[in-house]
């Protein structure tokens, strides 16, 4: 899928089933490297990033069976390096490093790829592993890591909050000798899900979801079964779909407590929000949203992965809205495409200022990254006329059946 035809002037209403979390499933797949016993994982979303992660695991020698449930057997890993053409495709491939090092004492991977939303360094990942006793050589864009014997547990103070690096260190510490403390850890729900998964395999992790994670290393892990948490960013994206089209929606099979900061902002925009055990209902009652002022921040703050979607909401809201991006340094690329659709936008340093207008106009737009893709498709759904959205290959990296789910809500999107 590389180009979509999106009819405008739609109100998006109805029910949507939320898929499993991309940002929990990806690291959990790589965590299976830590054990030689069989694993079963459910609620894994069908995404290109997931498929690339599975290809990487198979390359290492992992046996995979994938029908509804993903069955993984990492007992016969016999390769400890991964090929450039796969590593380069996903940022998540960095999570091969910690588990290979922890279980086999060696790993060799190229620097990972990922969305162009910023420099995406991995210094915090590598520093963490070095503090656990790893020797790491960086040459020709390749990371060559090894440790004599086992990694050694350590107190590690993260100089910057990093989801990825917290996951790398937590995974490696699982099999290290002794205790590890990760201080100033990221608190995202995905980290809690990974810790829950690892503990179900016999790991000894407490405090995941708080600023301090305590890990007591164990000799080896067992097998287990795990269900991936729902995708909070997909949920937020569909809530915005209803909010910008003055519609109403119920998101099913989701986790409201993972979206507190997003729900607060949607309420501020004038949405009526109701939540239950595994559902969220949003109703705009036919009203245009009110503009919002937002700062992105590490969890439980407002998620950077919802920044583009809320900027779109601000472009058609009543009033002037601002979003300050504090996590990534280049995450406003989509703004020029929204300006092509008539949006009144100014970028001042790391803040996007939107002067609300009643309606966008259709255009020929180009996606630059995953969340921008979803945002431009939603913009096409509400703009006047027919919008062509190009480079939508970014979309299927992180959203399962997004056009189909939107069409069930009243959109008219066709692949061309």
Please give the full DSSP string across 4-52, using - where no structure is assigned. EEEE-S----EEEE--B-HHHHHHHHHHGGG-SS-EEEES----HHHHH
Shortest distance (Å) from residue 241 CB to ligand EPZ: 17
- Comparison of 22 and 103: residue with beta carbon closer to ligand EPZ: 22
- Contact criterion met (CB below 8 Å) for 263 and 292: no
**In the sheet where 224-227 sits, what is the strand order?**
63-66, 70-73, 39-42, 224-227
> Which residues are known binding-site members?
22-23, 91, 120-124, 305, 327
Query: Phi, psi (5° rounding) for residue 85?
Result: -65, -25
DSSP-derived secondary structure letter, 383:
S
Indicate the residue among 8 and 27 with the shorter CB distance to ligand EPZ.
27
**Cα–Cα dist 383/381, whole Å:** 6
Grouping H, G, I as helix, E, B as strand and the rest as coil, residue 295 is strand
List 7's β-bridge partners, or say none.
Answer: 386
Least distance CB 298 / ligand EPZ (angstroms): 7
Nearer to ligand EPZ, 182 or 291 (CB): 182
Which of helix, strand or coil describes residue 171? helix
Count the Cβ atoms, other than its own, within 10 Å of residue 380. 28
CB of 91 to ligand EPZ, least distance (A): 5
The full 3-state SS of 94-157, as one line of letters, equals HHHHHHHHHHHCEEEEECCCCCCCCCCCCHHHHHHHHHCCCEEEEECCEEEEECCCCCECCEEE
Nearer to ligand EPZ, 170 or 383 (CB): 170
Query: Closer to ligand EPZ at the Cβ: 45 or 153?
Result: 45
* Helix/strand/coil for 279: strand
As a residue count, the chain comes to 416
**199 secondary structure, DSSP code:** H
Identify which of residues 297 and 361 has a Cβ nearer to ligand EPZ in the complex.
297
Q: Are 213 and 170 in contact (CB under 8 A)?
A: yes
* Residues of this chain that bind ligand EPZ (CB under 6 A): 23, 26, 91-92, 115, 118-125, 160, 162-165, 186, 304-305, 327-328, 370-371, 398
Paired residues of 73 in beta bridges: 63
**Closest CB 12 distance from ligand EPZ, rounded Å:** 21
Cis peptide before 85 (omega within 30 of 0): no
Q: Can you say which residues are annotated as belonging to the binding site for phosphoenolpyruvate?
A: 22-23
* Least distance between ligand EPZ and beta carbon 252 (Å): 21
Annotated binding site for UDP-N-acetyl-alpha-D-glucosamine: 91, 120-124, 305, 327
In the annotation, is 115 catalytic?
Answer: yes
Indicate which residue of 71, 115, 187, 367 is catalytic: 115
CB of 100 to ligand EPZ, least distance (A): 18
Which active-site residues does the annotation give?
115
């Amino acid at each position: 899928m590389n180009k979509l035809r999106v009819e405008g002037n739609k109100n998006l209403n109805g029910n949507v089933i939320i898929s499993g979390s991309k940002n929990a499933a990806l690291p959990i797949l790589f965590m299976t490297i830590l054990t030689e016993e069989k694993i079963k994982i459910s609620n894994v979303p069908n995404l290109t990033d997931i498929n690339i992660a599975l290809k990487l695991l198979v390359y290492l020698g992992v046996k995979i069976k994938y029908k509804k449930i993903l069955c993984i057997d990492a007992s016969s890993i016999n390769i400890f390096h991964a090929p450039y053409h796969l590593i380069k495709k996903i940022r998540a491939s960095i999570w091969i490093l910690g588990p290979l090092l922890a279980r086999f004492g060696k790993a060799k991977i190229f620097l990972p790829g990922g969305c162009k939303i910023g420099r995406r360094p991995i210094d915090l990942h590598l520093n963490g592993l070095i503090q656990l006793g790893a020797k790491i050589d960086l040459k020709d864009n390749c990371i060559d890591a090894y440790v004599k014997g086992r990694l050694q547990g350590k107190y590690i103070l993260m100089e910057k909050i990093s989801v990825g690096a917290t996951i790398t260190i937590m995974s490696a510490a699982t099999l290290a000798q002794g205790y590890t403390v990760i201080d100033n850890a990221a608190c995202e729900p995905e980290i809690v899900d990974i810790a829950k998964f690892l503990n179900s395999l016999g790991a000894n992790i407490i405090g995941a979801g708080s600023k301090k994670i305590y890990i007591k290393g164990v000799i080896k892990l067992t097998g287990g079964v795990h269900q991936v948490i729902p995708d909070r960013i997909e949920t937020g994206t569909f809530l915005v779909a209803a909010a910008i089209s003055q519609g109403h929606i119920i998101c099913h099979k989701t986790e409201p407590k993972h979206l507190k900061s997003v729900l607060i902002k949607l309420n501020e925009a004038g949405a009526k929000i109701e939540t239950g055990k595994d559902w969220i209902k949003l109703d705009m009652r036919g009203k245009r949203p009110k503009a919002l002022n937002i700062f992105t921040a590490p969890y439980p703050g407002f998620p950077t992965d919802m920044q583009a979607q809320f900027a779109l909401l601000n472009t058609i809201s009543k009033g002037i809205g601002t979003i300050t991006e504090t996590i990534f340094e280049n995450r406003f690329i989509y703004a020029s495409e929204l300006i092509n659709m008539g949006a009144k936008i100014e970028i001042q340093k790391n803040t996007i200022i939107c002067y609300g207008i009643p309606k966008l106009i259709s255009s020929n737009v180009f996606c630059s990254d995953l969340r921008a893709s979803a945002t431009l498709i939603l913009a096409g759904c509400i703009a006047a006329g027919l919008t062509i959205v190009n480079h939508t290959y970014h979309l299927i990296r992180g959203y399962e059946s997004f056009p189909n789910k939107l069409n069930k809500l009243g959109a008219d999107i066709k692949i061309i």
